[in-house]
Amino acid sequence: MNVDKYFSLYERERIKIDEKLAKALKNRKPSSLYEPGNYILEGSGKRLRPLLVLFSAKAVGLNFNKVYNAALAVEMLHNFTLVHDDIMDNADKRRGRLTLHKKYDTNTAILVGDSLLSIAYEFLLKDAKGSRVHEIIKTFNKGLIEVCEGQSLDKEFEIKSEVTLNEYLRMITKKTAALAEMCCTIGGQLGNCSKEEIKILANFGKKIGIAFQIQDDLLDISGTTAELGKNIGGDLIEGKKTFLFIKALEKANLQQKRNLFKIVKNKGISPSEINFYKSLYEELGVLDDAKKEIIKYTKSALKGLGNLKNEDDKNLFTWLANSLIKRNK
Amino acid sequence: MNVDKYFSLYERERIKIDEKLAKALKNRKPSSLYEPGNYILEGSGKRLRPLLVLFSAKAVGLNFNKVYNAALAVEMLHNFTLVHDDIMDNADKRRGRLTLHKKYDTNTAILVGDSLLSIAYEFLLKDAKGSRVHEIIKTFNKGLIEVCEGQSLDKEFEIKSEVTLNEYLRMITKKTAALAEMCCTIGGQLGNCSKEEIKILANFGKKIGIAFQIQDDLLDISGTTAELGKNIGGDLIEGKKTFLFIKALEKANLQQKRNLFKIVKNKGISPSEINFYKSLYEELGVLDDAKKEIIKYTKSALKGLGNLKNEDDKNLFTWLANSLIKRNK
How do residues B103-123 score in pLDDT, each as one tens digit? 999 999 999 999 999 999 999
* Distance in angstroms (rounded) separating the CA atoms of residues A124 and A185: 13
Q: Output the pLDDT for position A64.
A: 98
Q: Output the pLDDT for position B151.
A: 97
Is residue B95 a contact partner of residue B44, using CB atoms and an 8 Å limit? yes
Least Cα separation, residue A70 to chain B (angstroms): 14
How do residues A254-281 score in pLDDT, each as one tens digit? 999 999 999 999 999 999 999 999 999 9
Position B189 pLDDT exceeds 80: yes
Substitution target in B152, B156, B171, B182 with the highest count of A β-carbons within 10 Å is B152
Note whether B149 contacts A: Cβ–Cβ < 8 A. yes
Q: Output the pLDDT for position B223.
A: 84
Q: Output the pLDDT for position A262.
A: 95
Position A224 pLDDT exceeds 90: no
Mean predicted confidence (pLDDT) in A34-53: 95
Position B96 pLDDT exceeds 90: no
Mean predicted confidence (pLDDT) in A28-46: 95
* Distance in angstroms (rounded) separating the CA atoms of residues B248 and B49: 30
Note whether B105 contacts A: Cβ–Cβ < 8 A. no
Assigned fold of B3-205+302-325:
Farnesyl Diphosphate Synthase (1.10.600)
ipTM of the complex: 0.95
Residue A222 pLDDT level (bands cut at 50, 70, 90):
very high
Pick from A57-71, A83-97, B244-258, B270-284: least confident: A83-97
Q: Output the pLDDT for position B270.
A: 96
Q: Output the pLDDT for position B263.
A: 95
Mean predicted confidence (pLDDT) in B223-229: 77
Position A216 pLDDT exceeds 90: yes
Is residue A112 a contact partner of residue A36, using CB atoms and an 8 Å limit? yes
How do residues B125-169 score in pLDDT, each as one tens digit? 999 988 999 999 999 999 999 999 999 999 999 889 889 999 999
Pick from B157-161, B213-217, B276-280, B301-305: least confident: B157-161
* Distance in angstroms (rounded) separating the CA atoms of residues A146 and A99: 23
Pick from A308-312, B33-37, B61-65: least confident: A308-312
Substitution target in A116, A137, A170 with the highest count of B β-carbons within 10 Å is A137
Do B133 and A133 lie within an 8 Å CB cutoff?
yes
pTM confidence score: 0.96
Q: Output the pLDDT for position B141.
A: 98
Do A110 and B125 lie within an 8 Å CB cutoff?
no
Position B11 pLDDT exceeds 80: yes
Note whether A37 contacts B: Cβ–Cβ < 8 A. no
Mean predicted confidence (pLDDT) in B3-27: 96
DSSP states of B111-155: HHHHHHHHHHHHHHHHH--GGGHHHHHHHHHHHHHHHHHHHHHHH
* Distance in angstroms (rounded) separating the CA atoms of residues B161 and A57: 51
Do B111 and A152 lie within an 8 Å CB cutoff?
yes
Q: Output the pLDDT for position A227.
A: 77
Least Cα separation, residue B275 to chain A (angstroms): 30
Q: Output the pLDDT for position B321.
A: 96
Do A148 and B111 lie within an 8 Å CB cutoff?
yes
Position A145 pLDDT exceeds 90: yes
Assigned fold of A3-325:
Farnesyl Diphosphate Synthase (1.10.600)
Q: Output the pLDDT for position A226.
A: 76
Give the domain ranges of chain A. Answer: 3-325
Compare all CA atoms of chain A with the CA of B34 and give the residue at the minimum distance.
Answer: A149
